[in-house]
């Protein structure tokens, strides 16, 4: 009996050493494309280690298949190509789907309101971005930055889809095999502190 228990313990030890109980990895980023039918999500990885200050600067975009088990997946993510809104420099960084590169665009500020909460009457019940092709203006609300900004751009940019100016949802993926999600959480729409 002792010999059998010793053999079992030795097998378990070897399994642990060789990685048979691999814990998996986690990756997080902003969604730039989502194909619900083919179960593919494409995102720009957040390389920041500072909570609340994301850095979407890693290329190429990361592509994962969504979890096989529907119970392991949160809400379907919304997409957008806006990576950063810099109201100090009056620039907006987007992921350019045509070139598959980042692009920094200088804008002309029309109006900026600070400390705007998502419950404010200025933004409640509105879908952003608001793109006015006639006036050549775009209005963006950033929940994280608590900023409502309206700006103008050269006419050439108004041929791009409205989602260009939207911030896609943030997703967190747990995986063991690269490109294949075991679990996916929509961080943007999930209230981790809700009881």
**CA 130 – CA 110 distance, rounded (Å):** 14
Structure tokens at 87: 């109201």
- Residue ranges of domains in the chain, CATH in brackets: 24-79+168-195 (2.40.50.320), 84-165 (no CATH)
**Rg of the chain's alpha carbons, rounded to an integer?**
22
**143-167: pLDDT as tens digits:** 989 999 999 999 999 999 999 999 9
- The answer, yes or no, to whether residue 6 has pLDDT greater than 80, is no
- The answer, yes or no, to whether residue 12 has pLDDT greater than 50, is no
Tell how strand 108-114 and strand 130-132 pair up.
unpaired
**CA 170 – CA 28 distance, rounded (Å):** 7
**103-121: pLDDT as tens digits:** 999 999 999 999 999 999 9
Residues 6+ apart with CB under 8 A from 168: 30, 31, 32, 43, 77, 78, 79, 80, 81, 82
Residues 6+ apart with CB under 8 A from 161: none
- The answer, yes or no, to whether residue 20 has pLDDT greater than 80, is no
Res. 53 pLDDT band, cuts 50 70 90: confident
């Amino acid at each position: 009996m002792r010999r059998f228990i010793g053999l079992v313990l030795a097998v378990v030890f070897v399994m642990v050493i060789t990685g048979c109980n691999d814990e998996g990895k986690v990756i997080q980023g902003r969604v730039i494309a989502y194909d619900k039918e083919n179960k593919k999500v494409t995102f720009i990885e957040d390389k920041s280690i500072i909570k609340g200050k994301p850095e979407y600067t890693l290329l190429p975009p990361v592509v994962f298949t969504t979890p096989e088990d529907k119970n392991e997946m949160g809400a379907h993510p919304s997409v957008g190509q806006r990576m950063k809104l810099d109201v100090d420099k009056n620039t907006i960084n987007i992921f350019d789907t045509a070139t598959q590169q980042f692009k920094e665009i200088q804008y002309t500020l029309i109006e900026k309101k600070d400390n705007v909460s998502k419950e404010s009457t200025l933004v409640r019940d509105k879908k952003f971005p608001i793109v006015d092709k006639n006036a050549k203006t775009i209005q963006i609300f950033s929940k994280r930055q608590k900023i409502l900004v309206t700006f103008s751009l050269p006419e050439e940019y108004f041929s791009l889809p409205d989602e260009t100016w939207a911030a896609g949802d943030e997703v967190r993926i747990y995986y063991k095999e690269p490109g294949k999600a075991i679990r996916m959480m929509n961080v943007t729409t999930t209230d981790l502190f809700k009881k």
